[in-house]
Amino acid sequence: MSDAPGVDEVGVVPWPLLRSKKLVRNVARRIGLNRAWATLAVVLAGLFAVSFTITILVVSLETVASDLNSNTSTINWALTGPMLAFGVVGPAFGKAGDLWGHKRLFIFGLFFAGVFAALTVVAWNAFSMIAFRTLSATAGSATGPAAMAYINQLFEPEERVKPLGYWSFTTAGAPVLGVVLGAPLVETIGWRIIFVVQAPICFLGVLIAWRLLPETQRIRNVKFDLAGSATLGIGATSLLLAINRGNSWGWSSIPVLSLFSLGVFALWVFVQVEKRAEAPLLPLKWLRTTNVVYPVMSQGFNNFAYMGGFFTVPQLLEKGLGYSTSHIGWLIIARPLVFSIVAPTASYFTLRAGERRSGVVGSAALIGSMVVLSVVGVGTSDLVIIAGLALSGIGQGIASPALSGLVANAVDPNDIGTAAAVQQLTTQMGAVIGTTIMVSVHEATLSQGVVESYGYALLAGAFAAGLGVVCAARVQPLAR
């Protein structure tokens, strides 16, 4: 007999020992997954804490303007500023996290988001309130790339679809929930109390993250791309501001044309800088990588329709059909409710159908949503409206995790934070451009009737989602 315990004379490990070893491996793997999910919960909670307030005042602008002795046009910058900042600054934070570690960037972002949320509580005029909200979103934008980086570090490629579903729900669902919850919260307890609550939540998140989050891998001896960050920020901000202000300032006005020109020039300079950068903020090879450029473009087009529709439909119901605030509230809750169910569970569909098919199906559902909502009019059943809204939640919930998974698996693990930030920038650009263009279409067609004009706006969203289908169809499926 062999001297080795548990091995017989022919060198075969007995079945009980095999079972015990398999059990140990399974337990170890289960413990690892539990820690991974606990870490994911921490980073997504932080991301939710900073992103749900970006849109929470959208239906309460008049209340805030009255309290600060201002007007809604000015206070609207409390929405535009944070949305722009959250998208534009993300790539810089993504690269910084890749270089210096996402744990410290996550804690930094969450801490200062809480600081500026607390300062928002004591804002004394419109300017201070807008500044504090924008700075809070700027700091908080560090949490998005960090969350994606942790998903990449903690989960194997074949396991990422489900956690990416939760990430997608948080990034896309939190601002939507902010819109839904904003009006009743402001009417019940006032707008300042929202940030009284947000600040300690951020600080609590900092303490938990400090104790529980593991460090991420860092790239050594590489310089940060300051020139790339500056030129991308200037270019993207200028273009988004031009699109956002086109209606109010006039599309042919000097300020809007100047912003467009500055944006195009700054982005041209950005490309030239990235060609020579030692550690480019945006590796230009990604623009030639099928599973980066097409999924990101599809997400941008989808968010055009998703967020554009979310801002347009409540106005259709209020101004076009005369529905009460409470009636509108329980109707539009269908979209985030369905999204919250579909996004975390869509992984089961994606694992069977594949990422490309999921992207196409999700984008197609968004087309269906826009078309159904575009024919809403006097006498339309509430069930039809709910079905149209639910289709948006289904489409975004299926497409977003699948497309994010393609990007995560197409880039070098050291660049995952940067890739997530590029997605964050693209989706925010899609949201700003979508809401602006759909409002412009509505205003341009008002002569044909209020309800009809909103229908045309929603058809513009359907066209954008159609482009999302085209882009999703171009991606390469992952090998199983």
Does residue 61 register a pLDDT over 80?
no
- The dihedral through the CA atoms of 59, 61, 62, 67 has a sign that is positive
Q: In 3D, which of 265, 210, 184 has the Cα closest to residue 232?
A: 265
Average pLDDT over residues 98-108: 84
* Residue 11: band (very low, low, confident or very high) from pLDDT cuts 50, 70, 90: very low
CA 134/CA 172 separation, integer angstroms: 19
| Three-state secondary structure readout of 137-180 | HHHHCCHHHHHHHHHHHHCCHHHCHHHHHHHHHHHHHHHHHHHH
Q: In 3D, which of 60, 314, 321, 55 has the Cα closest to residue 184?
A: 60
- Asked if residues 398 and 353 have their Cβ atoms less than 8 Å apart, the reply is no
User: What average pLDDT does the chain have?
Assistant: 82
CA 334/CA 97 separation, integer angstroms: 36
Residue 25: the pLDDT is 44
Give the least confident one: 177-186, 220-229, 253-262, 312-321: 177-186
CA 321/CA 328 separation, integer angstroms: 10
Neighbouring CB atoms inside 10 A of 13's CB total: 12
* Residue 58: band (very low, low, confident or very high) from pLDDT cuts 50, 70, 90: low
**Does the domain made of 288-480 have the CATH classification 3.30.390.30?**
no
- CATH T-level assignment (fold) for domain 28-220: Growth Hormone; Chain: A; (1.20.1250)
Does residue 112 register a pLDDT over 90?
yes
* Residue 367: band (very low, low, confident or very high) from pLDDT cuts 50, 70, 90: very high
Does residue 32 register a pLDDT over 60?
no
First-to-last CA distance in the chain? 44
| Residue 174 tokens, joined | 């939190």
Average pLDDT over residues 104-130: 91
User: Could you tell me where the DSSP H helices lie in 89-125?
Assistant: 90-100, 102-121
* Residue 233: band (very low, low, confident or very high) from pLDDT cuts 50, 70, 90: confident
pTM: 0.74
CA 2/CA 9 separation, integer angstroms: 6
Please give the residue that has the higher pLDDT: either 422 or 123. 123
Domain ranges of the chain: 28-220, 226-277, 288-480
Residue 220: the pLDDT is 66
- Asked if residues 29 and 148 have their Cβ atoms less than 8 Å apart, the reply is no
Q: What is the DSSP letter of 41?
A: H
Q: Do domains 28-220 and 288-480 have the same CATH topology?
A: yes
